[in-house]
Chains A and B, each alone.
Chain A
Amino acid sequence: MNSPAPILIRATGLTKKYEDFVAVNGIDFSVAKGDSFGFLGPNGAGKSTTMRIIAATLNRSSGSIEILGKDPELHGPQIRAHLGVVPQQDNLDQALTVTENLYVYGRYFGLPKKFIRAKIEELLEFAALEEKRDVKVEALSGGMKRRLTIARALISEPEILMLDEPTTGLDPQARHILWDRLFRLKEQGVTLLITTHYMDEAEQLCDRLIVMDKGSIMAEDSPSGLIKTYSTKEVLEVRFGSDKNALVAGELEALCERIEVLPDRILMYGEDGEHLLHTMKESGLQPLTSLVRRSSLEDVFLRLTGRSLIE
């Protein structure tokens, strides 16, 4: 029915080296208009580096990247005018109040004062910061600062909103408020680029994501597609005590599709976790604890890299 959404960002063989260290290693990806696109990977995967290259504030070492058909190294200011950037570490203006932060940011884009003043009211409501409008930034909570940073990034009505670890360091309640705001933006058709090392965040927010590790892309798909390809429907987690886990591993392996032996527990992959538990008990193995759950992106990452997302 509809023609496919236009591609806004296209990277091929994108590489960034810091001296001899390769932080981003020849990655390819493309982001279509309206996508909610995620970069999932542990610390040091190269997520922030990739984001900064897209945001036209870091030069690549090789490969190519086009944002709205332009090279960020040649058209930095023009590309940045399309983007709203929420960096990993907040860099709000500590000397200014909430509204002043929004105001000056709009001015940096060259927007007229009248336009900005109207926009500020809208954004204060969006970020639920009306009560804090004249408060200096340093008096805000972590969640409020993050919401203000997002509001600030929206002052120029960007087509693409880039969020580098939007909820790292926030408590669960603050995270959920933030996710809610990001959903609203997604509904409005804003293209979202999100990096995270939280698999639940990636599952909640992203339509499509790439799994990154050590500068490379390990896989790319929708969250459910990744789980389907790289994991089973369910997982049975069992503990036999840390000294025994390794001993029983051989026996367990025969019972299921795949097994991961972690220091404190064993993960058994299969279509039906309860059934797996049943057969295990029948063959005379009694775990200290057991838990059946659905597969998550964490399992995908473990399968792809042999390590867990959060070390």
Chain B
Amino acid sequence: MLVSAAVAIADARIGKYGERTFSGRPHTVMERSYIAFKSSAWIVVLSGFVEPLLYLFSFGYGLGKFIGTMNVGHGHVVTYAAYIAPALLATSAMNGAIYDSTFNVFWKIKFDRIYEGMLATSLGPLDVALGEIGWALLRGFAYAVGFTTVIVPMGLIQNWWGILAIPAAVLIAFGFAAIGMAITTYMNSFQQMNMIQVVMLPMFLFSGSFYPLSVYPHWTQEIIKALPLWHAITLVRSLTLGDISLGLLPHIAYFLVMIFLGLFFTTRRLTALFMR
């Protein structure tokens, strides 16, 4: 029997691990996002790039004038701008990733029913999850790279280890995108979606972005240390300062777990929503 190209492609995966949930084509889902993105509002995209710079100039250089330098341990003394720059880098990776993986995903599930269309093809739910999370990650990555290209010439990263802040930003963006999408697939209303915003801002303000956690009582510190952004900031700051040690592994592990859980629950939920 003569088979179509689509059938031949799908049949080539028979017997492969996870063939029911994964067809090996998340890039086609990302391609869709790219095409839609080309005609989207650039001003919105640009605002995500500019935001951390605003913080850097107002706090880093404005407030920094009064603060002077910060002692970050291990004999490092840095300007206040250099202290907050890695935190802003980590935060911009987070914000970029959250942007596409939450409100945009919510809209696609509830109103555009995009995933229903995708899952009627030979794609599987893990393709959709990876494709969407991958796209969201790219935005976080782009913001982090953009921010880095501004702060390096300003002398805010003076250490070659600082290059590792870029792969770290990918890891951070991946983790936030995965968890962001997973949570979104369980949301039912815009009120619930707004809760995400309500959590994000305080997390940014209190996760050691602007001053060390030591200002807080012990129990508050413990809570903050459980939050993902603290791990992200600590990881990126250590890299930009050149504090490389095995002590960074728990932060990396934290994000690997986030990625795993995010992918797992997103795939599971997409299956429940559109395939049973």
B117 x A92 contact (CB < 8 A): yes
The distance in angstroms between the C-alpha atoms of A127 and B254, with both chains bound, is 51
Closest Cβ–Cβ distance, residue B192 to chain A (whole Å): 23
**A178 to B36 CA separation, bound complex (whole angstroms):** 28
- B116 pairs with A158, CB closer than 8 A: no
Instruction: Indicate if the CB atoms of B20 and A74 lie closer than 8 Å.
Output: yes
With A77-B10, A81-B10, A108-B25 as known contacts, state yes or no: A93 contacts B275, CB within 8 Å: no
Q: Is A141 an interface residue (CB 8 A)?
A: no
Q: Please state if A110 and B4 are interface contacts (CB–CB under 8 Å).
A: no
Establish whether residues A108 and B122, one from each chain, have CB atoms under 8 Å apart when the complex forms. yes
- A96 adjacent to B36 (CB under 8 Å): yes
A-B contact count (CB 8 A): 121
Asked whether A78 is an interface residue with its Cβ less than 8 Å from the other chain, the reply is yes
Nearest CB on B from A149, distance (A): 9
B123:A115 contact, CB within 8 angstroms: no
CA gap between A134 and B119 in the complex, in Å: 25
Interchain CB contact (< 8 A) of B11 among A78, A94, A158: A78
Given contacts A78-B11, A78-B14, A91-B117, contact A104 B6 (CB under 8 A): no
Q: Does A95 contact B (CB under 8 A)?
A: yes
* Residues B261-276 near A (CB distance < 8 A): 274-276
Count, chain A residues at interface, CB 8 A: 38
Per the 8 Å Cβ criterion, residues 100-139 of A in contact with B are: 100, 103-105, 107-112, 115
**Which of the candidate stretches A82-90, A211-219, A280-288 sits at the interface with the other chain?**
A82-90
Q: How far is the CA of A157 from the CA of B10 in the complex (A)?
A: 13
On whether A156 and B117 interact (CB within 8 A), knowing A104-B31, A110-B122, the answer reads no
Q: Considering only CB atoms, which chain A residue lies closest to B275 in the complex?
A: A57
- Contact indicator B36/A93 (Cβ below 8 Å): yes
Q: For the complex, what is the distance from the CA of A111 to the CA of B35, rounded to whole Å?
A: 17
Given A55-B120, A58-B275, A77-B123, A115–B114 Cβ distance below 8 Å?
A: no
What is the minimal beta-carbon distance from B276 to any residue of chain A, in angstroms?
Answer: 5
Cβ of A207 within 8 Å of any chain B Cβ, yes or no, is no
A85 in complex: contacting residue of B6, B10, B23, B120, CB < 8 Å: B120
Q: Name 6 A/B residue pairs within 8 A (Cβ), A-sorted.
A: A76-B124, A77-B23, A78-B10, A107-B32, A110-B122, A159-B4
